[in-house]
Amino acid sequence: MLYAVVVVTALFSPLILNDVVILILTPVVIGYAKQFRIDVAPLLVAEITFTNIASSLTPLGNPQNILLWSASRATFLQFVEGTSIPVLISGIIAVVVLLPLRTRVGGGKELPSTPRSITPGIYLALVIAVIIVSDASGLAAYIALGVSFALGLLFTSHSLRRVIQDFDFRSLLILYVLVGSITVVSLYIGPALANYATPVAEGVQPYSALFVGGVSNLISNVPATQLVLSVTSVSPHIASKIAVEAGLAGNIDPIASFANILALLMARRAGLPLRRTILLQFLVGVAAFIPALL
């Protein structure tokens, strides 16, 4: 199951918003852990980690990448060329840290057999086709994004019904409170950090990674990215660097990425303990953040 979580998140997160992947996959992970009475922490950490890592690869993977893609006017290929190597290294580090935990997951039991479906393959093929066509024809980035979102909604409509059942209104309220609090904090902190954000556009390391990583873990990676873009412009090359820094920073603490908050709230609603998950996530996140410093 640990292998399956890593593969699924690594394949889908670059082409679907990481929040959507979390919403669809987390109920499956929780259900498996409860059915076989195994430690859910390694599975949740694998899901969160590789969703954040893989989503850093492309402009469509997460909200901060969309902002950077639009602001820098980079092509899809330019963006991926800048993110691919550090994302690959980060993924390898995360695998090395997580795989020793696989003996604690599943206990030799197998997942119930399910009928195979070609729907995910069709969806990925269509999204890739949209990206290639829009990039080659010079269409605006938001067109590819809008079409990809529409395809995602079409292909996940049945799964989204399950999300409504597994994600109650109380959890949604908590999420809104957290998001609102982060937004308020970012409004107060932003002006104080503006002068320090300007050098990030120059891509000087390790300053850029440490600044983006630190601010992301204070106010979340999307507001941190907005802070940088509000005070300076970024080139396509630097946009890719910031995307990696903000994406990998999302693995360190629960508020660094909204995807983390979603997964943890769903686990909390299911009555699962979170302390071990948060601690393990911090350890894996710090290790996987190292390539952002390069």
- pLDDT score at 193: 74
Let me know: does 291 contact 244? Beta carbons within 8 Å.
yes
The residue among 59, 104, 5 whose CA lies nearest residue 247 is 59
Q: Are 262 and 275 in contact (CB under 8 A)?
A: no
pLDDT at 115: 46
Q: What pLDDT is attached to residue 33?
A: 86
Contact between residue 29 and residue 47 where contact means Cβ atoms under 8 Å apart: yes
Residue 21: which pLDDT band, with cuts at 50, 70 and 90? confident
| Dihedral (Cα; 259, 100, 12, 122), 10-degree rounding | -150
DSSP letter for 140, please.
Answer: -
Please report the pLDDT score of residue 151 as a whole number: 65
Q: Put residue 204 in one of left, alpha, beta given phi > 0 → left and psi -120 to 50 → alpha.
A: beta
Per-residue pLDDT, 154: 67
Average pLDDT over residues 253-279: 86
**pTM score of the predicted model:** 0.77
Find the range with the poorest average confidence among 185-189, 218-222, 282-286.
185-189
Average pLDDT over residues 169-180: 60
pLDDT at 132: 67
Nearest by Cα to 251 from 107, 69, 53: 53
Cα 144 to Cα 136, 164, 276: the distances in Å are 11, 27, 39
| pLDDT above 90 (res 86) | yes
Compute how many other C-beta atoms are within 10 angstroms of the C-beta atom of residue 161.
9
Does the structure show a pLDDT above 50 at 135?
yes
Element (H, E) at 220: none
Burial of 119 from C-beta contacts in 10 A (0-12 / 13-18 / 19+) = exposed
Rounded to the nearest 5°, which phi and psi values hold at 106? 95, -35
Tokens representing 86 are 């550090």
Lowest average pLDDT, out of 97-106, 112-121, 232-241, goes to: 112-121
**Residue 55 corresponds to which tokens in the numbers above?**
């989503």
Least confident range from 59-63, 130-134, 135-139, 140-144: namely 140-144
**Distance from first CA to last CA of the chain, Å, rounded?**
32
